[in-house]
């Protein structure tokens, strides 16, 4: 398999959510299947095409740090833990953006508004429904949104897109009544999933030709 980058638009920055990294590493872009994909992400980070706030890196650390049990060292999640912490990886901001707390507050206010709006919609279907005890949108999610808001304000000539694996459920689902795209729509933030991101950036996956495969077998 050959992977190429067809185009770079330096005026566009993509802000990646945690689930974009985690789900890809555990599934369709597993490092043992498509290792070069992760080199491409590093290259995009180095060129400031993609960025994630430091809270995303911290969440990856929490969810993917290998743990020592009585029997063995669990290595299943070792790759993403090491990849995100490697010194040459520039996909993650090392520090909070100056004044990002102001934008976190805006993102949280939008979340509360979405919470009220979606609760009303769901209760029309189920009057006994209650908001989940575990908040469906985390502080880390809000920091991703806040990062986009920061960039949009101070670099208004550029285009900033939030990349997430979440979908904009309409009507909202009872088990997860609010998601990142709901808040993005409330704040007029452009968002897309990682497949759209890959297509837009121009990452091309070229399969090995049948003749090449036959010659090796």
- Can you tell me the distance from the alpha carbon of 204 to that of 3, in angstroms, rounded to the nearest whole number? 5
Domains detected in the chain = 2-216 (3.40.50.1010)
Q: Are 51 and 93 in contact (CB under 8 A)?
A: yes
Evaluate if residue 209 carries a pLDDT over 90: no
* Radius of gyration of the chain measured on its C-alpha atoms: 19
pLDDT-based confidence at residue 68 (cuts at 50, 70, 90) = low
Dihedral sign, CA of 26, 146, 58, 175? negative
What is the percent of the chain with per-residue pLDDT over 70, rounded to a whole number?
84
* Mean pLDDT score across all residues of the chain: 85
pLDDT value, residue 5: 55
For residue 10, name the pLDDT band (cuts at 50, 70, 90): confident
pLDDT at 61: 87
pLDDT band, very low/low/confident/very high, at 99 (cuts 50, 70, 90): very high
Predicted TM-score (pTM) of the model is 0.85
Dump pLDDT digits (tens) for 107-126: 999 999 999 898 888 888 88
Tell me which residue has tokens 């609010």. 178
Lookup: tokens for 43? 């290259």
* CA 81 from centroid of its chain's CA atoms: 15
**pLDDT value, residue 172:** 80
pLDDT digits 0-9 by tens, 151-177: 999 999 999 999 999 988 888 888 788
Q: How far apart are CA 126 and CA 143, in angstroms?
A: 32
Token pair listed for 80: 């993403």
Q: Write down the pLDDT at residue 77.
A: 63
pLDDT confidence bin for 66, thresholds 50/70/90: low
């Amino acid at each position: 398999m050959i992977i190429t980058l067809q185009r770079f638009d330096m005026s566009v920055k993509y802000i990646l959510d945690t689930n974009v990294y985690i789900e890809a590493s555990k599934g369709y872009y597993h490092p043992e299947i498509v290792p070069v994909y992760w080199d491409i992400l590093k290259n995009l980070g180095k060129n400031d095409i993609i960025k994630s706030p430091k809270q995303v890196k911290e969440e990856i650390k929490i969810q993917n740090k290998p743990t020592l049990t009585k029997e063995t060292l669990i290595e299943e999640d070792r790759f993403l833990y090491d990849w995100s912490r490697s010194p040459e990886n520039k996909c993650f901001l090392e520090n909070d953006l100056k004044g990002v707390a102001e934008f976190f507050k805006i993102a949280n206010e939008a979340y509360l508004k979405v919470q009220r709006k979606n609760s009303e919609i769901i209760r029309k279907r189920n009057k006994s429904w209650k908001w989940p005890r575990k908040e469906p949108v985390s502080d880390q999610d809000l920091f991703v949104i806040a990062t986009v808001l920061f960039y949009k304000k101070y670099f208004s000539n550029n285009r900033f897109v939030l990349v997430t694996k979440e979908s904009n459920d309409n009507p909202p689902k009872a088990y997860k009544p609010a998601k990142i795209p709901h808040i993005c729509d409330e704040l007029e933030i452009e968002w897309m999933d990682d497949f759209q991101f890959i297509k837009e950036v121009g990452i091309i996956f070229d399969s090995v030709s049948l003749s090449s495969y036959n010659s090796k077998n």
